[in-house]
C-alpha cells in the first residue's frame, strides 16, 4: 500500500490536474442541472474546442523547447482567408483547399522558423511580429468575411461520421465501436509496455495503481463514448483531433526529433555539446506549429462556415493557457501532449459550462484567467513542498 501511495505522490501533478477536470465537470453538471453532459452538448464541446486542442499540441512542443508562439491566432485568420478565397473565389475543390491550408500554414512556419532558428531572433519577438503581420494580411485578403463555402468543407467541424453501422437501440453503433477500439487499443498498449518492463526485471508501477489507472481511463473513455453515441453521431473533428493526439504523443515520446526538443528545452548548451542540431530542431518546431495552425484554420473556418478576418482572436492565449494548465514548464524542458489536452479540456468545459449558465462573456474571461493562475500556483506550491522535504 505504501508503494501505491509513494507512486501517487510522485505522479501527483498528473492526477491532480485530471482530478481538477473531473471536479469542474461535476461542478457544472450540478449547476447546469445535467445539461453539460447532454449528448449534443458534449459533441458541441468537442467541435467548439477542437482548435484549442490542435494549437495546444503544437504549442507544447514550442514551449518545451523554450520558445513561445504568439502568432497562431493571426495565422489561423490568415490561412482561413487564403482557403476562403481559394474555395469562394477560385472554386478550388475543398479537399485541395484543405491541403493548401496546411501547406500555407507550414510556409508561415518556415518564415518564422527561419528568423528564430537561423537568425537567432527570440521567438517572442518573431511571433509578436507575425501576430501583427498575419492579422494585417488576413484583413487585406478577406476584408470582413467570405461566406458560401462548400458543404463538404463545412461538415469537417459541424458534421458527423455517417451512420454506417446503424443503431443499437437509439445509439449510433459506429461511435460505440470506435470507442471500444480506442479502449482496447489503450489497454493493449499499456499492458504490453508493462510486460516488456517486467520481462527485463525493471521497476514497474505497483499493480494496484496500474490497474486502477487503466480502469479509470477506460471508464472515462467509455462514458464519453456512451454519451456521444446518443448524439447525432461521432463528430468528424473528434477523429481529426484524436489522430493528431496519438501521432504527436508518439512524436514527442518516441522519436529522436521529440527527444531533441526536450533536450534543447532542458539544457540548450548540453544539447549543443551532445551533437543535437539545434537549429534544425527549432526550425522544425516552427514549421510544425505553422502546419497545425493551418489545420486549426481549416477547423475554425469550417465551424464558422465562412472565412472571417477577425477569426482566431486570442487563440494563441487559449493554446498557451492550455499548455500551462497542463503542466508544461514555463522555463521549458517539461510538458506532455496529454497534459495540454487536459488543459484544453478544462478551458473548454469552462467555456461550455459558463455559457450554458448564461454567464456574461466578460466574466467568463476573468474566471478563465483565475483558473490559469490557480493551476500554475497549485503546481508551484506542490513543487516547493516536494523540494522542502
Partner 1 sequence: MSTDNIILEMRGITKTFPGVKALQDVTLNVTRGQIHAICGENGAGKSTLMKVLSGVYPHGTYEGDIVFESETCEFKGIRDSEHRGIVIIHQELALSPYLSIAENIFLGNEQATRGVIDWTKTNAEAAKLLARVGLSESPDTKIMDIGVGKQQLVEIAKALSKRVKLLILDEPTAALNDEDSAHLLDLVRSLKGQGITSIIISHKLNEIAAVADTTTVIRDGLTIETLDMNGVEPVSEERIIRGMVGRSLDNRFPERSPRIGGEVLRIEDWTVHHPIDQSRKVVDGASLMVRKGEVVGLAGLMGAGRTELAMSVFGRTYGTNVSGRIFKDGQEIHTRSVGEAIRHGIAYATEDRKRYGLNLIEDIKRNITSSALGKLSRHGVVDREEETLIAERYRKDMNIKTPSVDAIVGKLSGGNQQKVVLSKWIYADPDVLILDEPTRGIDVGAKYEIYTIINALADAGKAVVVISSELPELLGVCDRIYTLSQGRVTGQLSRAEATQESLMALMTKEKEVTSR
Smallest distance from partner 1 to CB 274, Å: 4
x/- letters, 320..339, toward partner 1 (CB under 8 A): ---------x---xx-----
Does the CA dihedral 270-275-279-283 come out positive or negative? negative
**Shortest distance, position 17 Cβ to partner 1, whole Å:** 19
> Which one among 22, 211, 216, 270 touches partner 1, defined by CB under 8 A?
270
Give the helix/strand (H/E) hosting 145.
Answer: strand 145-146
Q: Is 209 within 8 Å of 10 (Cβ atoms)?
A: no
Q: Which of 72, 271, 306, 344 touches partner 1 (CB under 8 A)?
A: 271
- Candidate residues 263, 296, 298, 375; the one interacting with partner 1 per rule CB under 8 A: 263
Q: Does residue 262 bind partner 1 (CB under 8 A)? A: yes
Q: Where are the alpha helices (DSSP H) in 65-93?
A: 72-88
Find the shortest distance in angstroms from Cβ 243 to partner 1.
18
Asked if residue 269 binds partner 1 (CB under 8 A), the reply is yes
Question: By CB under 8 A, is residue 267 in contact with partner 1?
Answer: yes
User: Whats the size of the chain, residue-wise?
Assistant: 389
197 touches partner 1 (CB under 8 A)? yes
Smallest distance, partner 1 to C-beta of residue 277, A: 6
What phi, psi does 269 have (nearest 5°)? -60, -45
- Residue 139 CB, shortest distance to partner 1, in Å, is 40
Given a contact cutoff of 8 angstroms between Cβ atoms, the answer to whether 60 and 329 are in contact is: no
- d(Cα 308, Cα 321) in Å, to the nearest integer? 24
Q: Mark the segment that binds partner 1 (CB under 8 A) among 1-9, 13-21, 195-203, 313-321.
A: 195-203
Distance CA 108, CA 134 (A): 9
Backbone phi, psi, residue 146, to 5°: -120, 110
* 304 φ, ψ (degrees, to nearest 5): -80, -20
Any idea which residue has 470582413 for its cell? 144
Smallest distance, partner 1 to C-beta of residue 154, A? 36
Task: Tell me the site size for partner 1, rule CB under 8 A.
Answer: 28
Regarding 256 and contact with partner 1 (CB under 8 A), the answer is: yes
> In sequence order, which residues have a C-beta less than 8 Å from that of residue 15 and are 6 or more positions away?
8
Stretch that binds partner 1, among 200-208, 230-238, 240-248, 350-358 (CB under 8 A): 200-208
Cα angle: 83, vertex 85, 90; to 5 degrees = 110
Quick check: 266 binds partner 1 (CB under 8 A)?
A: yes
Tell me whether residue 119 or residue 273 sits nearer to partner 1 (CB atom): 273
The closest alpha carbon to 335, from 275, 264, 256, belongs to: 264
Binding residues vs partner 1 (CB under 8 A): 196-197, 200, 202-203, 254-257, 259-260, 262-263, 266-267, 269-277, 329, 333-334, 389
Amino acid at each position: 500500500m505504501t508503494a501505491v501511495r509513494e507512486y501517487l505522490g510522485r505522479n501527483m501533478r498528473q492526477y491532480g490536474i485530471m482530478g481538477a477536470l473531473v471536479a469542474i465537470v461535476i461542478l457544472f453538471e450540478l449547476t447546469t442541472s445535467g445539461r453539460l453532459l447532454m449528448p449534443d452538448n458534449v459533441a458541441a464541446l468537442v467541435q467548439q474546442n477542437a482548435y484549442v486542442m490542435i494549437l495546444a499540441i503544437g504549442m507544447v512542443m514550442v514551449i518545451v523547447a523554450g520558445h513561445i508562439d504568439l502568432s497562431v491566432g493571426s495565422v489561423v485568420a490568415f490561412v482561413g482567408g487564403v482557403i476562403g478565397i481559394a474555395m469562394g473565389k477560385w472554386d478550388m475543390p475543398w479537399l485541395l483547399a484543405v491541403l493548401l491550408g496546411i501547406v500555407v500554414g507550414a510556409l508561415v512556419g518556415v518564415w518564422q522558423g527561419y528568423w528564430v532558428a537561423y537568425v537567432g531572433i527570440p521567438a517572442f519577438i518573431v511571433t509578436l511580429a507575425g501576430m501583427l503581420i498575419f492579422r494585417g494580411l488576413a484583413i487585406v485578403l478577406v476584408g470582413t468575411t467570405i461566406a458560401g463555402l462548400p458543404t463538404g468543407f463545412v461538415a469537417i467541424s459541424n458534421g458527423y461520421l455517417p451512420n454506417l453501422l446503424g443503431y443499437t437501440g437509439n445509439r449510433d453503433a459506429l461511435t460505440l465501436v470506435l470507442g471500444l477500439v480506442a479502449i482496447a487499443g489503450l489497454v493493449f498498449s499499456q499492458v504490453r509496455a508493462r510486460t516488456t518492463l517486467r520481462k527485463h526485471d525493471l521497476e514497474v508501477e505497483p499493480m494496484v495503481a496500474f490497474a486502477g489507472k487503466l480502469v479509470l481511463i477506460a471508464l472515462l473513455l467509455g462514458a464519453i463514448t456512451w454519451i456521444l453515441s446518443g448524439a447525432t453521431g461521432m463528430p468528424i473533428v473528434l477523429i481529426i483531433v484524436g489522430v493528431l493526439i496519438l501521432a504527436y504523443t508518439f512524436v514527442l515520446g518516441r522519436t529522436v526529433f521529440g527527444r531533441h526538443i526536450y533536450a534543447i528545452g532542458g539544457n540548450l548548451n548540453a544539447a549543443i555539446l551532445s551533437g543535437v542540431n539545434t537549429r534544425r530542431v527549432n526550425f522544425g518546431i516552427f514549421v510544425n506549429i505553422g502546419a497545425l495552425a493551418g489545420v486549426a484554420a481549416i477547423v475554425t473556418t469550417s465551424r464558422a462556415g465562412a472565412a472571417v478576418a477577425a477569426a482566431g482572436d486570442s487563440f494563441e492565449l487559449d493554446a498557451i493557457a492550455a499548455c500551462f494548465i497542463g503542466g508544461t514548464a514555463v522555463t521549458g524542458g517539461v510538458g506532455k501532449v496529454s497534459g495540454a489536452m487536459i488543459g484544453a479540456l478544462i478551458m473548454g468545459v469552462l467555456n461550455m459550462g459558463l455559457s450554458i449558465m448564461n454567464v456574461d462573456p466578460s466574466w467568463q474571461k476573468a474566471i478563465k484567467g483565475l483558473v490559469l493562475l490557480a493551476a500554475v500556483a497549485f503546481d508551484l506550491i506542490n513543487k516547493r513542498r516536494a523540494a522542502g522535504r
